[in-house]
Structure 1
Amino acid sequence: MIYQGKELTTGILKTPVSSSLYVSKVQIEGDGQADLTVHGGPDKAICVYPEEHYAFWEKLLGKKLERGTFGENLTLRGVREHEIGIGDILAIGEVIVQVSQPRQPCHKLAKRLDWPEAVLRVQESGLTGYYFRVLKEGYIAPESEISRIASDEGRVTVAFANKLRYEDKFNREGIQRLLAVAALSGSWRQTFEKRLAELNV
C-alpha cells in the first residue's frame, strides 16, 4: 500500500472472494500479516467485523466501503459485539472457532481509510470487531452457515471487554469476570492481570 508517497507493508488490504478457502489454526488460506509482533498467531487467527457496522461508517465518511475495508478476514451478520461473548464457540461451514478477544485497531486502519482519527473513533464507538481462534480446521465459503455451538458460562461480551479496556478501566469486579474466562487471549489476559495488580496495590 502506498501512503503519502511511501510504500507501507501491511496485510490490511482485504477484498471479498467468492471461492471456498481453507482455514488453518493460524490463518485463512491466502491471508498474511505484516507485523507478527501484534498480529496473527493462534489467538488471532481470524479477524471478524460485523456487516451491520458498515452503514454507520459509510454515513459518517460519506462514501461506500467495500467489505473487508476494516482488514477483517470474515464479514459476518448477526454476531455484533454485544451479541457474542469471549469463549463462545461457533461453527462456520466445516470450521469450529472460538472468540478470543476484541480487535484493537492499529494505525494501518487509519492509513487504509486515510482518516487519522480512525483508531480513536473505532475504539470510542465500540464497533471494533473481534478475533477467533480455530478449534477445528476446514473449509469455509461465502455461503457457509453460522451456528453457535456453545456460550461461555461467564457471558462476558466483546462489548463489555471493550468497555473495560477503554472506558471503565477501574472496574475491579468486571476485570475479575473477564479474567475468569479461560478462553481469553494471552495478550489480553496479561494486560488485565497487570491492571488488576495495580488496582490492588
Structure 2
Amino acid sequence: MPLPRVLSVNVGRPMLQRVPKGRPTGIGKQPVDVITVADPGPKRVEDGAGVSGVEGDHIGDGRHHGGSDQAVYAFAREELDAWAAALGRELPDGMFGENLTTSGLDVDASEIGDVWHVGSAVLEVRGPRVPCATFAERMGERGWVKRFAAHGRSGAYLQVVQSGEIRPGDQITVTPSGSGLDVPTLLRAFLGDRDATRLAIDSGTLAEHRREELLGRL
C-alpha cells in the first residue's frame, strides 16, 4: 500500500457563478505549489467573506463555511476517481473544493479527533462536508446534493492545531483518536438520522456548539 500523502494543495480565488447570486465563491480551487495553514478562529464574516484556515483561500459564505472547525478541507483522489468514472467526466484535483487532495488515505474512515501530521502543520479531523447549492452549481449535475449526501463519503474538514506549510508530496501521518465516531456517521447525523445523532452526541467528541445543535434536532 502506498504511504498516505498529499497529492495536491489547492486554493480558491473569488469567482462568480449563478449560485450564490451576486456573491463571489471560492469553491473553484486550483493547485498551487504550497499552502500556509493557520487557525482562523470562529466562523464569521469579514469584509463580506468568511475566514479560511488556508492563506489566500476565499470563503464566499462566512455564515456556513470557514472558521476553526472547517479550516481545511480534505478529499481523497481515490474518491474523485470513483466519481469521475460514475459521472463519465474528468475531475481535476480541487474540483470538489478541497484544499488537500490526498492519496493512499481513506479520508472517510477518519474518526473525529484523529490528528494528521502533514508538512510542518498539525491538523485535527472535525467533521464531514455537507453539500450545498454552491457545490451543486459547481458540478452541474442533476440532483447533485442528494446524490452526494446519499453516497455518504464527503471528505473531511480539519482544524489547524499547529500552523505550518503543506506541499504536494508531503506524507500524512495519522494519530488515531479512538473516538469511535467516524466522518460518515456524523454526516448522517447532520442530515437528520436520529440513531447517528445519538451516537454523535454520546461520543463526547463534538465541539459544544455542534453538540447543542444536534441536541436541538433531537
Structure 1 length-normalised TM: 0.85
5+ long unaligned stretches in structure 1: none
| AA partner of residue 25 (structure 2) | T
- Aligned-residue offset at 1:28: 1.3
CA change 1:10–1:47 in 2 (3 A) is same
1:20 equivalent in structure 2: 34
- 2:121–2:165 CA contact under 8 A, matched in 1: yes
- 1:50–1:80 CA contact under 8 A, matched in 2: yes
Structure 1 residues 1-201: aligned runs within 5 Å:
1-3=16-18, 8-17=23-32, 19-26=33-40, 27-148=53-174, 150-166=175-191, 168-171=193-196, 173-178=198-203, 180-181=204-205, 184-195=206-217, 198=218
| Deviates most, 76-85 or 52-61 | 76-85
- Aligned-residue offset at 1:108: 0.7
2:13 equivalent in structure 1: none
| 3-state SS, counterpart of residue 163 of structure 1 | helix
- Aligned-residue offset at 1:82: 4.3
- Distance of 2:63 and 2:197 partners within structure 1: 29
1:143-180: CA deviation from partner (whole Å, max 9, x where unpaired): 111101x32232211122223333742456513333x1
RMSD value, Cα: 2.1
5+ long unaligned stretches in structure 2: 1-15, 41-52
- Aligned-residue offset at 1:40: 0.5
- Percent pairwise identity: 29
- 1:164–1:175 CA contact under 8 A, matched in 2: yes
1:15-39: CA deviation from partner (whole Å, max 9, x where unpaired): 112x122111122122120110001
Q: How many residues align?
A: 190
- Distance of 2:85 and 2:61 partners within structure 1: 31
1:162-201: CA deviation from partner (whole Å, max 9, x where unpaired): 23333742456513333x11xx345532321213xx3xxx
Runs of 4+ off more than 6 Å: none
| AA partner of residue 146 (structure 1) | I
